[in-house]
Amino acid sequence: MYIEMVVGGLTIDPLTNSPVLILRDLKGEKTLPIWIGVLEATSIATVLEKIDVGRPMTHDLLKTIVNDLGARVLRVEICDLRDNTYYALLQLDQNGRCIQIDSRPSDAIAIALRSGAPIFVLDTVLEKSKKEAESEKRSTEAVNVATTEDKEKLKEILEELNPEDFGKYKM
């Protein structure tokens, strides 16, 4: 089942310095973070902040091409998450003919924002994203625990060392 979502904002991941697009459902109960490129983040931000850049950006150009070909963007669907990569479809209507175009979510959302088209996320994608986030959190915690245990072992070894153990090397 698809859940309608809106752009909740853009932020920066403090660990990677990568832009993160935050989608949230209409009730504000579910969120979906998607790491995106700087150019896509810039394109999305110009729409969100209503910035006039003077000349058309790539996503403006694509919107114009779609419109000039007699089509319109019906909706964006984020339909899959595989190997930490999100997949999306642009759903177009051209004179009653439904056209699906494979897209990166960031590009599809940049076009949807310009077209006023709704954004939908498949519920299984939200579940996969949540599971991956939990798995990543457990991995990080395990590394932190291992690091703490390693520090304690190293401390014990160093405390038990005798200066004579180093032979001719003085400390």
Q: Rounded to two decimals, what is the model's pTM?
A: 0.76
Q: Sketch the domain layout of the chain as residue ranges.
A: 2-125, 133-162
* Residue 132, pLDDT score: 77
Minimum mean pLDDT among 16-25, 36-45, 128-137: which range? 128-137
Angle at 26 between CA 58 and CA 128, to 5 degrees: 75
Using DSSP, state whether 76 is helix, strand or coil.
strand
Q: Which of 27-31, 37-41, 73-77, 141-145 has the highest mean pLDDT?
A: 73-77
Helices and strands (DSSP H and E) totals, the chain: 4, 7
Per the CB < 8 A criterion, the answer to whether 46 and 57 are in contact is yes
Per the CB < 8 A criterion, the answer to whether 37 and 59 are in contact is no
Domain 2-125 CATH (choose: 3.20.20.150, 1.10.10.10, 3.10.690.10, 3.40.50.720): 3.10.690.10
Segment 52-109, tens digit of pLDDT? 888 999 999 999 999 999 999 999 999 999 998 999 999 999 999 999 999 999 999 9
Segment 107-163, tens digit of pLDDT? 999 999 999 999 999 999 999 998 876 666 555 455 555 566 667 766 666 666 665
